[in-house]
Amino acid sequence: MELSCDERSKLSEELWWSLHPPAENLPQEEIDAAWGAEIERRIEEIDSGAVKTVSIEETMAELDAQIAAKRL
């Protein structure tokens, strides 16, 4: 706790990556292409009706209800 907020943040990031190293060192173009394909796949699922979107308001209401239920 004697470290500054920035120092603790950097340390936590370094610890995270030491425990979860990337599977491969892929070029940024391949990473961007993979994310682009994933985004397109998700858009297609939404457009086709295969998945239902949930608004932030619905999500927050559900989380609030879950938290309230645990407090009882």
Interval 57-70 mean pLDDT: 95
68 neighbors 61 (Cβ within 8 angstroms): no
Task: Map residue 13 onto helix, strand or coil.
Answer: helix
Q: Which pLDDT band, with edges at 50, 70 and 90, does 39 fall under? A: very high
What pLDDT is stored for residue 63 in this prediction?
Answer: 96
What pLDDT is stored for residue 17 in this prediction?
Answer: 85
Q: Which pLDDT band, with edges at 50, 70 and 90, does 53 fall under? A: very high
Interval 43-67 mean pLDDT: 96
Q: Which pLDDT band, with edges at 50, 70 and 90, does 32 fall under? A: very high
What pLDDT is stored for residue 59 in this prediction?
Answer: 97
